[in-house]
Structure 1
Amino acid sequence: MGQVLNKLRGKEWRHKQVQAICDRVFDRFKMQTGRANLTFEELYIAVLLVYNDINKRLPGPHFDPPSKDLVQSIMTDCDMNLDGEIDREEFVKFFEQLTAETLNVVSQGLIISMIVAPTVAIATKRATEGVPGVGKVVQKLPTSVYASLVTLAVMWVNSDSS
């Protein structure tokens, strides 16, 4: 549980995650094109790839990639040397701005699934005593097993609804 809390701490963890994703995507384009910078078209393809990874690997709802207009405006803000292309440092800054809200939603979903659900399960274990058939089974289960089952159920319901 401590590892989960450590990961949800905030900006430092998010920065490391964004940095790792950016390095992988930027290196992929650098190898394909042989150039050190990305044009707008390459940047937008990179955005689509990153959002595809986010939707495949991170829990939570489906995130639609941003529009080309939004990508263009953030690119303009992040292009410090005003050459119309994005280098590695500008690329990381670009994605930190672009994915800030997305990572907040994912973090909130993890907090609900990993902290709130087990707490509620433990608090409501006694409430099941009066339920015919179910109450006796729940009371025989160790609290840790019951909390884990409820947490898995919450995560399953959250993944189906997104």
Structure 2
Amino acid sequence: MGQVFDKLRGKQWRQKQVQAICDRVFDRFKLQTGKANFTFEELYIAVLLVYNDINKGLPGPHFDPPLKDLVKSMMTDCDINLDGEIDREEFVKFVELLTADTFAVVSQGLIISLIVAPTVAIATKKATEGVPGVGKVVQKLPTSVYASLVTLAIVWANSDTS
């Protein structure tokens, strides 16, 4: 349950996720190339890896990586020392800018799934009384179990449409 509240905190959770993804991708490149900075081509490959991690690790819809033109323009904006390459700190800032909308969508999905869904489930439990066959079963279930089942069904349906 602590993880749920951690995810709902917003900015801190987002920064923690971005930092973890950036560290993993940056360390992978550093190990393979032996270089401490990204050129444009390496940066674009890193962006593809970041979006791969986002799509695998975060709940919500599939997010397509940005086009090369956007990455190129953002690279010039994030290259603080103007050396034409992106170092680790610049990379973290770059990914934070690049994924701001992505994390907003994930956060909204979590709020809907984890707060709104159980509330709606509890509110509609009484409405199932008149449904033949189902009504009696639903009424026998404890409210917490019913709310959890409805929430799981909504999360599963959302992940299925992604």
| TM-score bracket relative to the smaller structure | over 0.9
1:67-108 CA-partner distances (Å, limit 9, x unpaired)? 000001111000001010000000000000000000010111
Counterpart in the other structure of 1:116: 116
Number of the residue aligned with 1:83: 83
Does the alignment pair 1:8 with 2:44? no
State the alpha-carbon separation in 1 of the partners of residues 68 and 120 from structure 2: 43
Alignment of structure 1 residues 9-24 onto 2, 5 Å: 9-24=9-24
Structure-to-structure mapping, 1:8-157, within 5 angstroms: 8-157=8-157
Q: Which amino acid aligns with 1:15?
A: Q
Q: Helix, strand or coil: the match of 1:84?
A: coil
Task: Name the SS for the 1:157 alignment partner.
Answer: helix
For residues 3 and 82 of structure 2, the distance between their equivalents in structure 1, rounded to whole angstroms, comes to: 41
* RMSD of Structure 2 on Structure 1 (CA): 1.0
How many Å separate the matches in 1 of 2:88 and 2:54? 20
CA shift at 1:5, angstroms? 2.8
The gaps in structure 1 that reach 5 residues or longer are none
> Which range moves more in the overlay, 10-19 or 88-97?
10-19
Q: Deviation per CA, 1:52-75, whole angstroms, max 9, x where unpaired?
A: 111122111111000000001111
TM-score by length of 1: 0.96
State the SS of the aligned residue for 2:35.
Answer: coil
Q: What is the CA distance between 1:6 and its match in structure 2?
A: 3.1
Q: Could you tell me how far apart the structure 2 residues matched to 1:96 and 1:19 are?
A: 9
**4+ runs deviating over 4 angstroms:** none
Q: What is the CA–CA distance in structure 2 between the aligned matches of 1:35 and 1:157, rounded to whole Å? A: 43
Whole-angstrom distance in 2 between the partners of 1:119 and 1:2: 19
> Taking structure 2 as the reference length, what is the TM-score of the superposition?
0.96
CA distance, structure 1, for counterparts of residue 67 and residue 6 of structure 2: 33
> How far 1:160 moved relative to its partner?
1.3
Q: Which amino acid aligns with 2:107?
A: S
